[in-house]
Amino acid sequence: MSDIKDFMTQEHRDCDEIFVQMEDAVASKSDETLLKFESFQDALTNHFKMEEMVLFPMFEQKTGMSKGPTQVMVMEHEQMRELLSKMQDAAESKENDKFFSLSETLMILMQQHNMKEEQMLYTMIQQHLGDDADHIISRMRSLVH
């Protein structure tokens, strides 16, 4: 049987790894900067999609908590999407200082966000939805792969 918390935590680690690759490309002024940015943006937005379209609604339905922690996480997703949009503009216009200022803000927000999910929300989700973990993970994967 799969574990939702482990799966989603690994998703965070995968996004972190791609984030580092993106920052390295910008720092070295690589020709692959936009490609690396798009890879990170895709990974992060796909992660949000899995949570917002599958995981959070199933948790809310099971627990009746629709105005609780999932709502806070979605609001933070929106903040991160706004930062991604600004980072894309900075990357396209090769404004590296602006890009790194935005990426630093995003990194701090992601770290805080991921900690809340990994230490609290995913544990709650696993407790309530763990019996359906294989099905849930399969549905999340089908959205993005």
Residue 58 CB contacts under 8 Å (≥ 6 apart), including other chains: 129, 132, 136
End-to-end CA distance of the chain: 21
Q: Is pLDDT above 70 for 1?
A: no
Residue 144 has a pLDDT of 79
Q: Is pLDDT above 80 for 145?
A: no
Q: DSSP assignment of the chain, as one string?
A: ---HHHHHHHHHHHHHHHHHHHHHHHHTT-TTHHHHHHHHHHHHHHHHHHIIIIIHHHHHHHH--SSSHHHHHHHHHHHHHHHHHHHHHHHHTT-HHHHHHHHHHHHHHHHHHHHHIIIIIHHHHHHHHGGGHHHHHHHHHHHH-
Of 84, 86, 110, nearest to 98 (Cα)? 86
The pLDDT tens digits of the residues spanning 15-60 come to 999 999 999 999 999 999 999 999 999 999 999 999 999 999 999 9
Q: Is pLDDT above 90 for 131?
A: yes
Domains and CATH numbers, the chain: 4-144 (1.20.120.520)
